[in-house]
Structure 1
Amino acid sequence: MYRMDQVVRDGDPVLRKQAEKVAFPLSDEDQQVSKDMMEYLIISQDEKANEKYGLRPGVGLAAPQVGVSKQYASILIPNADVDGQEDQDEPYYFKGTIYNPVITRQSVKQQALAGGEGCLSVDADQPGFVERSYRITVRYQDETGAEQELKLQGYPADVFQHEIDHLHGTLYYDHINEANPWEEHDRTRYI
């Protein structure tokens, strides 16, 4: 499992690089990195374990955030965080690692998290709305190399866009309007 001191911080050049595509079958290293990233996310969402290990809670962790400049990210979205999913039997809306993800469709309608976004790699608070597409379609490969496609909206779409940005050298605050960080727009849904 990764610890907070192993998460690459803002200012490290790896966070601003275009990550390389992942080859299949996965190397032992890529399998281990994926496993360790997911373990971090699982433990970080458990309040007691989180305190024990001194982790910051997260729902996503991209390979560049642990110093690996390759196109994959582990994502763990609890059902409790997704509207209409709170009472599901399964604890997670999405749990897995996405390899070589591409957003193939995105809505014109925008959204932004009402309180702004955060990132495990960014220690300083960067206040402001991060406008993203409300609906997206993502094509990616799973751990076997098989192609998958997901249609997402709302919070899950936001999480996927945030993590995919990491694979292209973009950080969430790059989307914030510097002149007026909390400016609202009619076309944007605030969630």
Structure 2
Amino acid sequence: MILMKDIIREGHPTLRKKAKEMSFPLSTEDRQLCDDLLEYIVNSQDDKLSEKYGLRSGIGLAAPQVNVSKRVFALHIPDDDKPFEKFIAINPKIVSHSVEKTYISTGEGCLSVDREVPGYVPRYARISIKAFDTEGNEMKMRLKGLPAIAFQHELDHLNGIMFYDHIDESDPYNDIPGALPFDRE
């Protein structure tokens, strides 16, 4: 089981590396990694388990965040009635995206960042993605709203990019041309 002590923090070199593609069939170790990533996210959203194990709540976790430089992440967005609730994305890609941008009006956070980082993080409002599941089946989906934002945040981790790299340092709350805010509430 992944705990907070297993999640590496900003400044660790693995977070800045481009992760390597995974191959199929998955090894026992890679399958376990997928299970562990998803288990952390699900458990972190359960108040009792979160308190018992000292987990910070999150909706996504990428392999590089547990010091494994492989192209896989887990998402769990239970309050969203869109395409998925629990999701493992192996070798994910964005195949197309909207011109329109969006951002979370309260900013983004990250399990690998132990500080508040103020500012808007511009993201595509809608994306079409391609990824593989743990059995090697190709999945294609169209995402918008929080699933689209979270997918882009986790995909950035696989490319060595942190969410705050997208924030305008000189004016963190500067209007983003063509972007509409996304409110989580």
1:96 Cα deviation after fit: 2.1
Matched residues, percent identical? 46
1:116 Cα deviation after fit: 0.1
Tell me the equivalent position of 1:49: 49
1:49 Cα deviation after fit: 1.2
Out of 84, 92, 113, the residue aligned to residue 101 of structure 1 is: 92
1:186 Cα deviation after fit: 4.7
Which whole-Å CA distance do the structure 1 matches of 2:158 and 2:85 have between them? 19
Which whole-Å CA distance do the structure 2 matches of 1:186 and 1:123 have between them? 29
Tell me the equivalent position of 2:137: 146
> CA offsets per residue over residues 42-91 of structure 1, 9 Å max, x none?
1100112111111000111000001110000011111x2x3xx3xx9xxx
Which whole-Å CA distance do the structure 2 matches of 1:4 and 1:148 have between them? 30
How large is the RMSD of aligned CA atoms in angstroms? 1.3
Tell me the equivalent position of 1:123: 114
Tell me the equivalent position of 1:136: 127
Q: Any conservation in 1 of the 2:122–2:176 contact (CA below 8 Å)?
A: no
Secondary structure at the residue paired with 2:77?
strand
> Residue type matched to 1:66 in 2?
V
Which whole-Å CA distance do the structure 2 matches of 1:45 and 1:93 have between them? 16
Query: Normalising by structure 2, what TM-score?
Result: 0.95
Are 1:75 and 2:75 an aligned pair? yes
Tell me the equivalent position of 1:158: 149
Which whole-Å CA distance do the structure 2 matches of 1:76 and 1:49 have between them? 16
Query: Normalising by structure 1, what TM-score?
Result: 0.92
Which whole-Å CA distance do the structure 2 matches of 1:190 and 1:184 have between them? 10
Are 1:190 and 2:181 an aligned pair? yes
Are 1:173 and 2:158 an aligned pair? no
Count of aligned residue pairs for this structure pair: 182
Which whole-Å CA distance do the structure 2 matches of 1:146 and 1:68 have between them? 22
Which whole-Å CA distance do the structure 1 matches of 2:163 and 2:176 have between them? 18
Secondary structure at the residue paired with 1:174?
helix
5 Å matches for 1:13-92?
13-78=13-78, 80=79, 82=80, 85=81
> Residue type matched to 1:120 in 2?
L
Kindly report structure 1 stretches of 4+ aligned residues shifted beyond 3 Å. Answer: none
Secondary structure at the residue paired with 1:111?
strand
Secondary structure at the residue paired with 2:91?
strand
Q: Which runs of 5+ in 1 are unaligned?
A: none
